[in-house]
Amino acid sequence: MAPLRLSAGCLTLLLYTIAAGALAAQQPLPPKPAPSTTDQQRIDQLIRQLGGASFAEREQAMKELVAVGVPALEPLRKALQSKDPELIRRAQECIPIIERNVQIVTLIKALKDKDSETRAQAAKQLGKFGPMADAAVPALLEAFEDEDTSVWLDAKYAIAQIGPKAKKAVPKLIELLKKREGRRSRTCDAAFVLGKIGPAAEEAVPALLDVLENYSTSAGRAEAARALGLIGGIDEKLIPALLNGLKDLDVRVRRNSAEALGNIGKEPAACVPALLEALKKHKGLSLEDEALSSYPTRTIICALGRFGPGAKEAVPVLIDILKEPKQKNGLREESIETLRRIGPEAKKAIPMLNDLMKGMYNGIYSKEASRALDSIQRKTPE
């Protein structure tokens, strides 16, 4: 068997991780100052409180012990020998939290390593902790501007995995949205991360609208449209900008604008006609463009479904899609689901759905058609 070979970066990060594990396990490492007698007494008192009579007292003790960190680990492990089941249970909960926090702190330090592969691996590992690694956001933002492509890409995905708890990154990401020129432009990537942060990034909406409307690179416009749909908000320019995005020359921008309008689900009177117009244009593309058009078409149909009864104007178009014998790429399934969401306002589709129930297209849509019929034919309260 060939010997295992590790790159320099992976080996360095492994050493960081071993050091973190050793610290958490209180194995021999460079000496750390021992807790003072007063601190040790406080730790012992908090551990006793884990089994206290008051729920609030037990909860507070847990929070304080986690905040104490490494010095509390050995006393907590000894507490596992207690005869109090509640104390044992809470000690068992505290230990992995503290150990995880030690690992996160160690990985944050590794983001400053001289070796770029070590920095990249540290960012990637922090991302695996998800929202629990929110303390790493400032360091990851610095790594997001690293000269090394692997480092800043892994930092980008790490912040995205932290999600809404990365809200503190929003001001810096807005700044990066505006850095549109040069080799270190991060406009598209900043938009991606803001979308993952979601509604907590609402203050970024004006900057994202500017990218959607004015950025010369289509990938950036597409990512801005997607982010706007995930963030939402009440900016009065939001819906008009996305409606305009449906007319963009780039198919990705049209697709993401449609998806965003569906996610937001507001102003059906303006959105539904525009989505229908976009749907008709995509349906009319030549067969040579089919690979390009099918995904946007499906996205538009799904977006219409998000408006529920407000998308009743779409019913005739959806029926036509169901009738098309050479329909591909899941368009029938999506059309049936949109009819289901429209509900009783889609009564004109009942004959077509009945045909699907009876075995049209070899009966492969009978289950979906049955669900749609149940929704359309349900009795509404008087």
Helices (H), the chain: 8-25, 37-49, 55-68, 73-79, 85-110, 116-128, 137-143, 149-162, 170-177, 187-197, 205-214, 218-231, 238-245, 251-264, 268-283, 290-305, 315-323, 331-342, 350-357, 366-376
Residue 332 placed within a domain: no
Residue 261 placed within a domain: yes
Q: How far is CA 31 from CA 23, 34, 35, 241, 372, in A?
A: 10, 9, 12, 60, 68
Clarify whether residues 302 and 351 are in a common domain: no
Residue 264 placed within a domain: yes
Q: pLDDT value at position 205?
A: 96
What residues have CB less than 8 Å from 42, skipping those under 6 apart?
Answer: none
Clarify whether residues 300 and 253 are in a common domain: yes
Residue 366 placed within a domain: yes
Range of the domain at 368: 346-382
Residue 320 placed within a domain: no
Which tens digits make up the pLDDT trace of 253-300? 999 999 999 999 999 999 999 999 998 877 654 433 444 455 788 899
* CB contact at 8 A, 133 and 122: no
Whole-number percent of the chain with pLDDT over 70: 84
**pLDDT band at residue 312 using 50, 70 and 90 as cut-offs:** very high
3-state class (DSSP) for residue 134: helix
**Least-confidence region, from 84-93, 280-289, 363-372:** 280-289
Could you tell me the CATH number of the domain that includes residue 248? 1.25.10
Q: How far is CA 361 from CA 202, 376, 380, in A?
A: 46, 21, 31
Residue 269 placed within a domain: yes
Clarify whether residues 304 and 350 are in a common domain: no
Residue 265 placed within a domain: yes
Average pLDDT estimate for 295-306: 90
**pLDDT band at residue 1 using 50, 70 and 90 as cut-offs:** very low
Average pLDDT estimate for 315-343: 88
Which tens digits make up the pLDDT trace of 102-120? 999 999 999 999 999 999 9
* CB contact at 8 A, 140 and 123: yes
- pLDDT tops 50 at residue 170: yes
Quote the DSSP letter at residue 217. -
Q: Which of 289, 213, 217, 197 is nearest to 257 (CA)?
A: 213
* CB contact at 8 A, 156 and 127: no
Helices (H), 163-250: 170-177, 187-197, 205-214, 218-231, 238-245
- pLDDT tops 50 at residue 24: no
Average pLDDT estimate for 82-90: 92
Q: pLDDT value at position 7?
A: 54
Report the C-alpha gap between 157 and 361 in whole angstroms: 43
What residues have CB less than 8 Å from 96, skipping those under 6 apart?
Answer: none
Average pLDDT estimate for 327-336: 82
Q: In whole angstroms, how large is the CA radius of gyration of the chain?
A: 28
**pLDDT band at residue 358 using 50, 70 and 90 as cut-offs:** confident
Residue 50 placed within a domain: no
Average pLDDT estimate for 10-25: 48
Q: pLDDT value at position 156?
A: 95
Phi, psi at residue 136, to the nearest 5°? -85, -5
3-state class (DSSP) for residue 71: helix
Which tens digits make up the pLDDT trace of 224-234? 999 999 999 88
Fill in the amino acid letter for 110: A
Distance of CA 165 to the CA centre of its chain: 11
| Tokens at 189, concatenated | 């990537």
CB neighbours of residue 288 within 10 Å = 8
How many domains does one find in the chain? 2
Q: Give the chain's mean pLDDT.
A: 85
Report the C-alpha gap between 47 and 150 in whole angstroms: 44
Quote the DSSP letter at residue 364. T
